Amino acid sequence: MSSPTSAASGIEVAVIGAGIIGACIAHHLTRRGAAVSLIDRDEPGRGCSYGNSGAISESSVAPMAMPGVLASIPGMLADPRGPLYLPPAYLPRAAPWLARFITSTRADRIDAAAASLAALHAGAVDKHIALTRELGIPEILAQRGHLHLYPDRKALDKDAGAWALRKRFGFAFEQLDRAGIVALEPQVGPRYQVGMFLADHATVLNPFRYVQAIVKAGSDGGAKLVRQDVSRITPLAERRWQVQYGTTTQTFDHVVVAAGAWSRRLLDPLGVRLHLESQRGYHVQFLGGPKVVSRTVVLADRKVFVTPMEDGIRAGGTVEIGGLSRPPNLKRAGLLARITRETFAGLEQVESTQWMGHRPCTPDTVPVVGAAPGNPGLWIATGHGHLGMTDSISTAERIADGVLQAAH
Ligand X SMILES: Cc1cc2nc3c(=O)[nH]c(=O)nc-3n(C[C@H](O)[C@H](O)[C@H](O)COP(=O)(O)OP(=O)(O)OC[C@H]3O[C@@H](n4cnc5c(N)ncnc54)[C@H](O)[C@@H]3O)c2cc1C
CB of 331 to ligand X, least distance (A): 15
Stretch that binds ligand X, among 34-42, 136-144, 212-220, 322-330 (CB under 6 A): 34-42
Q: Closer to ligand X by CB, 55 or 270: give it.
A: 55
Q: Closer to ligand X by CB, 32 or 386: give it.
A: 386
**Single residue of 7, 12, 35, 46 touching ligand X by CB under 6 A:** 46
Is the Cα torsion angle 70, 76, 81, 86 positive or negative in sign?
Answer: positive
Cβ partners under 8 Å of residue 153, min gap 6: 194
Q: By CB under 6 A, is residue 277 in contact with ligand X?
A: no
Q: By CB under 6 A, is residue 322 in contact with ligand X?
A: no
Stretch that binds ligand X, among 168-176, 179-187, 191-199, 382-390 (CB under 6 A): 382-390
CB of 279 to ligand X, least distance (A): 8
Q: By CB under 6 A, is residue 387 in contact with ligand X?
A: yes
- What does the alpha-carbon distance between residue 344 and residue 327 come to, in Å, rounded to a whole number? 30
- Number of residues this chain uses to bind ligand X (CB under 6 A): 44
**Single residue of 63, 82, 322, 388 touching ligand X by CB under 6 A:** 388
How long, in residues, is the chain? 408
Q: Show the binding pattern over residues 359-378: x = contacts ligand X (CB under 6 A), - = does not.
A: xx------------------
CB of 117 to ligand X, least distance (A): 12
Stretch that binds ligand X, among 17-25, 165-173, 246-254, 286-294 (CB under 6 A): 17-25
Q: By CB under 6 A, is residue 121 in contact with ligand X?
A: no
Q: By CB under 6 A, is residue 53 in contact with ligand X?
A: yes
**Single residue of 148, 295, 384, 398 touching ligand X by CB under 6 A:** 384
CB 176 within 8 A of CB 188: no
Q: Show the binding pattern over residues 81-100: x = contacts ligand X (CB under 6 A), - = does not.
A: --------------------
Q: What are phi and psi of 344, to 5 degrees?
A: -125, 130
Q: Show the binding pattern over residues 165-204: x = contacts ligand X (CB under 6 A), - = does not.
A: ----------------------------------------
Q: Closer to ligand X by CB, 208 or 407: give it.
A: 208
Q: Binding residues for ligand X, per CB under 6 A?
A: 16-22, 39-42, 46-49, 52-55, 57, 229-230, 258-260, 262, 266, 281-283, 305, 316-317, 357, 359-360, 382, 384-390
